[in-house]
Amino acid sequence: MNLLSDRIQNLSESQTIAMSKKSREMQESGIDVISLSLGEPDFNTPDFIKDAAKKGIDENFTYYPPIAGYKDLREAISRKFKRDNNLDYSAEQIVVSTGAKQSIANVVLCTVNPGDEVLLPAPYWVSYFDLVKLAGGTPIVIPTQIDNDFKITAEELEQHITAKTKLLIFSSPCNPSGSLYGSNELASLSRVIAKNKGMLVISDEIYELINFEGKHASLAANQEVYDQVVTVNGLSKGFAMTGWRCGYIGAPLWLAKACDKMQGQITSATSGITQRAAIAALEAAPSEMNYMKTAFLKRRDLVLKHLNEIEGFVTNLPKGAFYIFPNISGLFGKKYGDQTISSGQDLCVFLLQEARVALVPGEAFGSPQCLRISYAASEEVLEEAMKRIKNAVQKLK
Ligand code: PMP
Ligand code: GLU
């Protein structure tokens, strides 16, 4: 007898997590797998952040914190939004959660009714799609082209808006494409969004600090859409704090209150110790973290150089985050023994078996012609992985 709910049976497992789990299992059984599957900085959390957490323990920040986060953390976030993004969010408009993933889940569960349409420019981050389904919404995928750096134009957005559109979710810098929307592009999107007051937007800016081009642009800085936008951010990527679980939103007050209520029934607040660490992180100058960005940029160029030497891999120039999202459809139809490559999934399975390199298929992000390479690994590891991929692809006939 199957006692599981329809809800969980209809939910897919996160492909990013599934691939990293698989490679971890292979490594544990003694197989030499290189995993470039998980989006996780390979840096330790900086000492000044750890010190603040240790102090937090000694000062007994070990009780249930307020659901939306300690007031002084929310005030620090409010100052961060003003300092870095020119955004005015009061502490009451901020909700801190156990990671940006929960922040996004809260907003989706608080806004999407069954039958509502949610626009997802593809490639989208893997969890957006299933969170929308979990809420009973209908994901509407908007395809993009590598020639336009996998970004949607204002016209494409407008074409997909219907009377049922409730939400648009996108990330910039983008996981998995590494693309950035500049302020002019966001201004054009804003003009379309402002004409449709029945829709909201989740602007996922968790990779803000990993931007190789210059200043980060926030959608909500366009005043005409400020009331329609939820700005999501978090500490996992920019501060190398994936395991600490801290994400946050700046939102219209009514929505921040709803997320507080939702979170109060599901998880309560994130750990008080994490919150003390988060204050230290957010009060530091963002340039403190530039050393990671510098390392990522060098690695991006290293991986791109190798990929461009492999027949069948077409790349663009990712300008942020730590991913490359090559189009590999040039390899479709090629064979290895009796295996034929006809999707990103097929190539990922082949590369895992043959090259012992774990990547994530583009299907997870709504783009089956592509695959995602996370270059959050050392240069030596990346060199070895590229060598293995090159050799394996040469075996395809
Ligand atoms: N959004 C994007 C685009 C991500 O890549 C991630 C990484 N997991 C998240 C949200 C969630 O991050 P976290 O829950 O670790 O804050
Ligand atoms: N966001 C990361 C990724 O895309 C971590 C995995 C996850 O949270 O799904 O790989």
Provide the token pair at 333: 């139809």
Ordered structural domains, the chain, with CATH: 6-44+289-393 (3.90.1150.10), 47-285 (3.40.640.10)
Distance separating alpha carbons of residues 244 and 281, to the nearest angstrom: 12
Q: Which amino acid is residue 146, in one-letter code?
A: I
pTM: 0.97
Provide the token pair at 374: 């996370």
Q: Is the distance from CB of 322 to CB of 374 less than 8 angstroms?
A: yes
181: left (phi over 0), alpha (psi -120 to 50) or beta: beta
Report how far apart, in Å, the C-alpha atoms of 62 and of each of 46, 188, 220, 348 are. Answer: 22, 46, 34, 43
Write out the chain's pLDDT in tens, 397 residues.
Answer: 999 999 999 998 888 888 888 888 998 999 999 999 989 999 999 999 999 999 999 999 999 999 999 999 999 999 999 999 999 999 999 999 999 999 999 999 999 999 999 999 999 999 999 999 999 999 999 999 999 999 999 999 999 999 999 999 999 999 999 999 999 999 999 999 999 999 999 999 999 999 999 889 999 999 999 999 999 999 999 999 999 999 999 999 999 999 999 999 999 999 999 999 999 999 999 999 999 999 999 999 999 999 999 999 999 999 999 999 999 999 999 999 888 999 999 999 999 999 999 999 999 999 999 999 999 999 999 999 999 999 999 999 9
Pick the ligand that lies closest to the CA of residue 270: 1
175 lines ligand 2 (CB under 6 A): yes
Q: How far is the CA of 125 from the centre of ligand 2 (A)?
A: 8
38 lines ligand 2 (CB under 6 A): yes
15 lines ligand 2 (CB under 6 A): no
Q: How far is the CA of 363 from the centre of ligand 1 (A)?
A: 18
Q: How far is the CA of 340 from the centre of ligand 1 (A)?
A: 33
Question: Minimal CA–CA distance to 234: which of 254, 253, 208, 212?
Answer: 208
The H or E element spanning position 167 is strand 165-171
Q: How far is the CA of 125 from the centre of ligand 1 (A)?
A: 8
